[in-house]
Amino acid sequence: MSINVHIVPILSDNYAYILEGADDSVAVVDPGEAAPVIKYLEEHGLTPTLILITHHHWDHVNGVDEILERFPCTLAGADPEGSAPDSPAKKVIKARFDEVLHESCSFSFAGEEVQTLSTPGHTPEHLCYYFKESGFVLCGDVMFSMGCGRILDGSAAELYSSLQKLGALPDETLIYCGHEYTQSNADFCLKIEPDNKALQKRSNEVNALRAKGLSTLPSTLSKEKETNLFLKAKSPQAFKELRTLKDRS
């Protein structure tokens, strides 16, 4: 892998990511809080040239202004236009974007092609960033390990097809999500499929990591295909029922 992905825990259970290319290109992804990200950048002598946003929710963008003040660079992300009009984070982020990205806006970072995948459902516009050569995807609040985002401002059918789109990536793809929800997702999935051996194994693995205070990410798509019941749902309707059940759990 030519791009290194550094995981920066922020807020209570979010992750920001710092991408470091072999050519010293540096990008910050979804900085919902500035201080831990700036601290990491300074400690490692990194200067970002790009901030990438998956979607406009405050826990993914709140640190943007402070980081831009310290490190002026390009801010790019999904167009929040279709989402709830009363969202203050939406107005702020839209005004700050240097580049509003869509699915057809694939770009290059550290000499590598980055594919922007339109993945609505959690919000009307949400982008996942797929780094084919390095073999990883940044999937924000669309897919979590053994889970998926809430349907806040989109529809179940949209979120289902967004998950299917991620599911079509190569099995070995590393999955970097916006939140550390893995343990509670595993508990939920185990209630639905208590005899699923892969799920039992992954749940044990996850509990051991969390007991040591470690991140459960990245996951891989092949692990998710065995254990993520939302990704495995056979139809939009089955997916919708599962998501409703999870919302009530």
Cα separation, 12 vs 124, whole angstroms: 25
Burial class (CB in 10 A: 0-12, 13-18, 19+), 100: middle
**Minimum separation from the CB atom of position 203 to Fe ion (A):** 23
* Residue 141 within binding range of Fe ion, rule CB under 5 A: yes
For helices 182-192 and 197-211, the axis angle rounded to 10 degrees is: 150
Closer residue to Fe ion in complex, CB, 22/84:
84
Closer residue to Fe ion in complex, CB, 37/199:
37
Residues 47-76 binding Fe ion (CB under 5 A) are 59
Size of the site for Zn ion (CB under 5 A): 2
**Minimum separation from the CB atom of position 141 to Zn ion (A):** 4
Q: Report the sign of the C-alpha dihedral through residues 167, 168, 171, 173, in that order.
A: negative
**Minimum separation from the CB atom of position 150 to Zn ion (A):** 8
CA-to-CA separations, 214 to 7, 15, 183, 209, 210, in angstroms, rounded: 11, 12, 12, 5, 5
Q: Which stretch binds Zn ion (CB under 5 A): 128-136, 140-148, 162-170, 209-217?
A: 140-148
* Residue 180 within binding range of Fe ion, rule CB under 5 A: no
Cα separation, 158 vs 65, whole angstroms: 31
**Minimum separation from the CB atom of position 193 to Fe ion (A):** 26
Contact residue for Zn ion among 141, 158, 180, 224 (CB under 5 A)? 141
DSSP 8-state secondary structure symbol assigned to residue 120: -
* Residue 30 within binding range of Fe ion, rule CB under 5 A: no
Residues 47-66 binding Zn ion (CB under 5 A) are 57
Compute the half-sphere exposure of residue 233: CA atoms within 13 Å on the CB side of its CA.
24
User: Site residues (CB under 5 A) for Fe ion?
Assistant: 59, 141, 178
